[in-house]
Amino acid sequence: MAETTILVIEDDPAVRRGVVDVLEYSGYRTLEAGDGNSGLELALAANYRLLLLDLVLPGRDGFAILAELKKRRPGQPVIILSARGEEDDRVRGLGLGADDYVMKPFSVRELLARVEAVLRRTCERSAPAQRRSIPGGEVDFGESRIEHEDGTIEELSEREAGLLRYLLEAAGRVVSRAEILRHVWGLDPDRTETRTLDMHVMHLRAKLRDRDQSILVTVRGKGWRLKS
- Identify the pLDDT of residue 61: 94
Residues in Cβ contact with 68 at an 8 Å cutoff, skipping those fewer than 6 apart: 40, 43, 44
Domain segments of the chain as ranges: 5-121, 131-226
The top-level CATH class assigned to 131-226 is: mainly alpha
The CATH code that applies to domain 5-121 is 3.40.50.2300
- Identify the pLDDT of residue 1: 40
Strand ranges, E, within the chain: 5-9, 29-33, 50-54, 78-82, 100-103, 131-134, 137-140, 145-148, 153-155, 216-219, 223-226
- Identify the pLDDT of residue 123: 57
Which residue stretches of 75-227 are H helix? 87-95, 108-121, 158-169, 177-180, 196-208
- Identify the pLDDT of residue 89: 81
- Identify the pLDDT of residue 142: 82
Calpha distance 96→23 (Å, rounded)? 25
Residues in Cβ contact with 199 at an 8 Å cutoff, skipping those fewer than 6 apart: none
pTM of the model: 0.56
Q: Spell out, as residue ranges, where the chain has pLDDT lower than 70.
A: 1-3, 85, 123-129, 192-194
- Identify the pLDDT of residue 3: 65
Calpha distance 6→118 (Å, rounded)? 12
Give pLDDT tens digits for 150-178: 999 999 998 899 899 889 888 788 988 88
